[in-house]
Amino acid sequence: MIGALTFSFHFQIFKFTNFQIRKMPNPRLAARYAKSLIDLANEKNQLEAIYKDMQFLQLLCKESYDFLLLLRSPVVKPDKKVAIVEAVTKGKIGDITAAFNRLLINKGRESNLPEIITSFIDQYKQQKGIHTIKLTTAVPVSEEVKKQIVSQVQSQTNLTNIDLKTAVDEDIIGGFVLEMGDKLVDASVAYDLNKIKAQFLNNDFIYKIR
């Protein structure tokens, strides 16, 4: 488990006091660096391996707030950052990805790593013709239900290579919400209740009863 990774001993070299480190998004920069890495991965025939590296780093960024603080810290010197990042990722990523991380740090772009990872994964999926679909339900769904959803989408669209992401949101009460690119299928109980509420507010039911 990445969440079990600990590198607090490295953080003895600096302290975070009462301030927050904010990161302004820079999608163009992220896309540019991700494209360079994609091109290199294709050239070296290492696309699948580096894609797995990006998945690992993305999970690390999501599960370790300390790691994000390190990337965004203006206090820690580049050589210290390189040492910490290499210690945390040792044996988890390949040489090309490790060299890419060092490049980002030396150029002062390491704070953009989460965005670069997201852009890399998006560009990878575009190259592979993979379509990401997000399924939101009130409770977790089984693998069988996931397969049924993918099968239904494939049968009703021209999408064949589907990457299904799932999320749980108790606020939808029941049913599901399916997001496919710029399309949204809202079959949630919450949506139905809101429609009923709107009809009451507009007196639709009163007119029908009369």
**For the segment 1-39, what is each residue's pLDDT rounded down to a tens digit?**
444 444 443 444 444 434 444 555 688 999 999 999 999
- Residue 24 has what pLDDT? 58
Mean predicted lDDT score pLDDT of the chain = 84
Contacts of 31 (CB under 8 A, 6+ apart): 119, 123
C-alpha dist (Å) from residue 37 to 27, 41, 44, 87, 104: 15, 6, 10, 22, 11
Which of 40-44, 52-56, 89-93, 201-205 has the lowest average pLDDT? Answer: 201-205
Question: Pick the residue with more confidence: 76 or 149?
Answer: 76
95/131 Cα distance (integer angstroms): 29
**Whole-Å CA distances, 106 to 21, 101, 157:** 20, 9, 46
Task: Flag whether pLDDT at 204 surpasses 60.
Answer: no
Instruction: Report the alpha-carbon distance of residue 67 to residue 36 in Å, rounded.
Output: 24
129 φ/ψ angles, rounded to the nearest 5 degrees? 70, 30
Distance between CA atoms of residues 149 and 5, nearest Å: 35
Q: Which residues of 31-66 are buried (b: 16+ CB within 10 A; e: fewer)?
A: bebbeebbeebeeeebbeebbebbebbbebbeebeb
Domains and CATH numbers, the chain: 25-126 (1.10.520.20), 130-209 (no CATH)
Give the pLDDT confidence score for residue 23 in this predicted structure: 57
- What tens digit of pLDDT does each residue of 138-166 get? 889 899 988 988 888 888 888 889 989 99
Q: What is the pLDDT of residue 60?
A: 96
Q: How confident is the model at residue 56 (pLDDT cuts 50, 70, 90)?
A: very high
